Amino acid sequence: MQWHRLIAALGLFAPASALLRFGCAGLTVQRLDPLVNPGMKPSTHLHQIIGGDSFNASMPQGTHDLVSRSTCTSCQFTEDFSNYWTAVLFYRAKNGTFKRVPQMAQAGMEGTQGGMVVYYMSDALFDTAQRSDVTAFKPGFRMLVGDSTFRNREQARKWRQLTYICMENQGTRAPESIGFPTRPCPGGIMANHRFPTCWDGRNLDSPNHQDHVAYPESGTFESGGPCPSTHPVRLPQILLETVWDTRAFNDPAGFVGGQQPFVWSNGDSTGYSNHADYLFGWEGDSLQRAMDGHTYVSAPMLTPQSIALQNRCKVPDVVNEDIDSSYQA
């Protein structure tokens, strides 16, 4: 990495590139969705949310400034007041009752209550050079990946980068499937959300929260696929990893004949409705500075906080319903 810094310092070559990887504790688990169901209390289904505590049922773009309205963040880096959320996983017992599946902290982040691991990258995860240019998101930027109404493989092909990993142990990262695993997973089920990485360069949002961004025209972000001419600006790839601790629900009787006992909070037992939402909320130019930092995982230009402080950042429960044993009130 040293030569990289030197060349940049000489001004010969200054690629915007880095990879950030950090933990975020759960901020709240509630039926709220300020992107798709703004103002609705409750929204259509339960979500697990991380990030800044300005999170609210309604967060109008243009007037709700996540940075100035937040007093804390559940993420490791104190500059990140963004919000990220996904659906919540439930176990359906044979007798028809439901139990919310707990979330598991990843290795090295033990003690983190709920939440996810977040990545921002310039190139594929395992490319330690991270050479490619990326442009950080702008204030007010938001997007949605996936479709909560999808229930079959044909539909889910559109989002081939939303996947599940049946974990043997904490280190398992392959194979990935686009539907729920159909066998018991000894290390839990990891849900992966890779957001689109090409931006139209103009719109911070779009009516379906998707049309202003796109996946690469060919190949993938990982393979260096080019952005389409309609969406020429290359963004960092955001990857969210959520590990659902299914270990208490691995009775083989639940997995007979291709069945599996898990259901997303939107009622989907196929897994094809995998989806996630993002509201950008990094302070000032901190994300661009971090992406320009030529670092891999470490981020000396950002200010980390302890897991205890991440766990302490919460928002009030404004929906007030049983979130542990019913996936839809």
> Which stretches of the chain bind ligand NAG, using CB under 6 A?
56-57, 93, 95, 97, 315-316, 318
Which two tokens mark 13? 């070559």
Contact 191, 182 (CB under 8 A): no
* Least distance CB 318 / ligand NAG (angstroms): 4
Distance CA 38, CA 36 (A): 6
Q: Output DSSP code: residue 248.
A: G
Shortest Cβ distance from residue 88 to ligand NAG (Å)?
A: 16
* Burial profile 106-131: b = 16 or more Cβ within 10 angstroms, e = fewer: beebeebebbbbbbbbbbebebeebe
Complex with ligand NAG: residue 73 or 237, whichever CB lies closer: 73
Q: Smallest gap, in angstroms, from Cβ of residue 93 to ligand NAG? A: 4
Residue 50 or residue 315: which is nearer to ligand NAG going by CB? 315
In angstroms, what is the minimal distance from the CB of 245 to ligand NAG? 16
Peptide bond into 175 cis (omega under 30): yes
Nearest distance, CB of residue 61 and ligand NAG, angstroms: 16
Cβ atoms of residues 164 and 264 within 8 Å: no
Beta carbon of residue 75, minimum distance to ligand NAG (angstroms, whole number): 17
Comparing CB distances to ligand NAG, the nearer of 223 and 325 is: 325
Nearer to ligand NAG, 108 or 316 (CB): 316
- What is the smallest separation between the CB atom of 63 and ligand NAG, expressed in angstroms? 13
Q: Which of 79, 17, 84 is nearest to 48 (CA)?
A: 84
User: Who's near 322: CB < 8 A, 6+ residues apart?
Assistant: 329
Q: Are 139 and 264 in contact (CB under 8 A)?
A: no
**Are residues 144 and 208 in contact, defined by beta-carbon separation less than 8 angstroms?**
yes
Cβ-based nearer residue to ligand NAG, 113 or 177: 113
Among residues 4 and 69, whose Cβ is nearest to ligand NAG?
69
Query: In sequence order, what are the residues at sequence separation of 6 or more whose Cβ sits closer than 8 angstroms to the Cβ of residue 164?
Result: 176, 177, 178, 179, 180, 181, 189, 190, 191, 192, 271, 274
Residue 177 or 311 with smaller CB distance to ligand NAG: 311
Supply 249's token pair. Answer: 């629900």
C-alpha 312/C-alpha 216 separation (Å) is 38
